[in-house]
Amino acid sequence: MSDSRLATRAVHITGSAVDASVGLLQRHGGDVISFGMGAAGPDAIPGAALGELASELFDDPSNSALNYGPTEGERALRTALLSALAAWGQPASDESLLITSGGMQGLDLVCKMYLDPGDVVLTESPTYPNALVSIATYEARVVECPMDGDGLVVDAIPQLVESAGRAPKLIYAIPNHQNPTGVTLSGARRERLLDLARSYKSVILEDDPYGRLTYGEDAKPTLFELDRGMGAVVSVNTFSKVLAPGLRVGWVLAAPDVIERMVAARHGMDTCTNVLGQRLVAAFMADHGLVEHIVALRERYGRKLEAMLRELERNFGDVPGAEWTRPRGGFFVWLRLPGVVADELVTVALAHGVFFIPGSAFTTTSGFQDCLRLNFTYPSEREIAEGLARLRKAYTAQQGGRRQG
């Protein structure tokens, strides 16, 4: 069994930082403030409203919310979602929509559809680790492209493609409030990226969990929208960040023929997305409105982002070379502390009662060792302040130990 592709690939990647870090957290116990997982704020999940809706779903002699459902997704959810997309100025047809078990399954489906061993996938650098796992299980080769304050440095792509010796089959991008950096791809670069993808006959895998979660600015048009149905973009989305991660409900937008083949593949993956979760999302959208809910989330998470940026300034403003991104949305801030080895700092930080994911988790290269991904949506504003004070103490302790060592 040791000759399987999985044994050599997936573990190699996830065995690195995310798993090691979360393992550290689990073994640590104690009172830890977590800037780790990209989880929803506990008070941002409308549990009471969902609970009321659930009781209606259970009050049904046919128990249809607990039996199998269609592989393409529940009709009520599909209808509600198509309306919401239209309200966001992203109209889509019924044939271009597939409901998935969270956004991650959408990414896995796209990789499964498009990737053969040896194919090149161009990604942002740093990027989402679980996408790297999925790519690795199909034995494709990751080529990482640098980012700056305007997102992916699109002009660097031609040189990278030339070095790789082949055009990328997929270009994996999180254009809005990227994970882990929080950076958003500029409008000009979006058009340039689409042009490049078309010239390579590459498909852009657009991962957009955070697109609606802008704080203090409007959402940018997605790559899928900008492509206007030309088939250069497959868009992967989720209710995890805008409603409740534990329901594991997401969706994919793509050309109808691609969706049709994805439905076929789903039969061999998980049959269908959990029906109860889909019905809950649909009922919430009908009774409470997802658009309205997101307006409230933007307000709430926007305050948390402000708190994190303020407390970073307070605690790390005097650290030579320290720098961090200033996102306008999403879930994460990316902190760089020159000279730090974040894989080591995380252990010291846990001893000080604070947790983050080290930068090495977000790359297949040896880069970003001195970077930290900080989630600001899960902790409260008070915890953000206290957690960053603890992180500063951990940093000072580690640097002190280092200078003495």
Within 38-67, which residues bind a copy of itself (CB under 8 A)? 39-40, 42-43, 45, 47-48, 50-51, 54-55, 57-67
Q: Can you tell me the distance from the alpha carbon of 261 to that of 272, in angstroms, rounded to the nearest whole number?
A: 14
Query: Given candidates 79, 186, 274, 396, which one binds a copy of itself under the rule CB under 8 A?
Result: 274
Binding of a copy of itself by 147 (CB under 8 A): no
Binding of a copy of itself by 151 (CB under 8 A): no
Supply the DSSP symbol for 243.
T
- Residues 14 and 244 sit within 8 Å (Cβ to Cβ): no
Among residues 11 and 86, whose Cβ is nearest to a copy of itself?
A: 11
Query: Given candidates 244, 305, 349, 385, which one binds a copy of itself under the rule CB under 8 A?
Result: 244
Among residues 40 and 345, whose Cβ is nearest to a copy of itself?
A: 40
Among residues 31 and 318, whose Cβ is nearest to a copy of itself?
A: 31
Q: Can you tell me the distance from the alpha carbon of 206 to that of 175, in angstroms, rounded to the nearest whole number?
A: 7
Selected range binding a copy of itself among 10-18, 179-187, 208-216, 327-335, rule: CB under 8 A: 10-18
> Taking the C-alpha atoms of 71, 77, 80 and 81 in order, what is their torsion angle to the nearest 10 degrees?
-60
Q: Can you tell me the distance from the alpha carbon of 216 to that of 329, in angstroms, rounded to the nearest whole number?
A: 8
Determine which helix (DSSP H) or strand (DSSP E) holds 98, and give its type and residue range: strand 97-100
Q: In the window 281-310, what residues touch a copy of itself (CB under 8 A)?
A: none
Among residues 134 and 178, whose Cβ is nearest to a copy of itself?
A: 134
The 190-229 site mask, x for binding a copy of itself (CB under 8 A), equals -------------x--------------------------
- Residues 272 and 70 sit within 8 Å (Cβ to Cβ): yes
Q: Can you tell me the distance from the alpha carbon of 84 to that of 92, in angstroms, rounded to the nearest whole number?
A: 10
Q: How many residues lie near a copy of itself (CB under 8 A)? A: 82
Binding of a copy of itself by 116 (CB under 8 A): yes
Query: Given candidates 273, 325, 363, 364, which one binds a copy of itself under the rule CB under 8 A?
Result: 273
Binding of a copy of itself by 144 (CB under 8 A): no
Q: How far is the CB of 8 from a copy of itself (least distance, A)?
A: 10
**Amino acid (one-letter) located at 75:** R
Binding of a copy of itself by 236 (CB under 8 A): no
Q: How far is the CB of 334 from a copy of itself (least distance, A)?
A: 20
Q: Can you tell me the distance from the alpha carbon of 290 to that of 281, in angstroms, rounded to the nearest whole number?
A: 9
Binding of a copy of itself by 115 (CB under 8 A): yes
Binding of a copy of itself by 158 (CB under 8 A): no
Supply the DSSP symbol for 221.
P
- Residues 301 and 377 sit within 8 Å (Cβ to Cβ): yes
Q: How far is the CB of 118 from a copy of itself (least distance, A)?
A: 12
Binding of a copy of itself by 15 (CB under 8 A): yes
Residue recorded with tokens 């929509």: 97
Query: Given candidates 32, 33, 97, 104, which one binds a copy of itself under the rule CB under 8 A?
Result: 104
Binding of a copy of itself by 269 (CB under 8 A): yes
Binding of a copy of itself by 69 (CB under 8 A): yes
Q: How far is the CB of 307 from a copy of itself (least distance, A)?
A: 20
Q: Can you tell me the distance from the alpha carbon of 331 to that of 177, in angstroms, rounded to the nearest whole number?
A: 8
Q: Can you tell me the distance from the alpha carbon of 339 to that of 325, in angstroms, rounded to the nearest whole number?
A: 18
Binding of a copy of itself by 31 (CB under 8 A): no
Residue recorded with tokens 């078990």: 101
CB count within 10 Å of CB 174 equals 28
Length of the chain: 405
Q: How far apart are the first and last CA of the chain?
A: 44
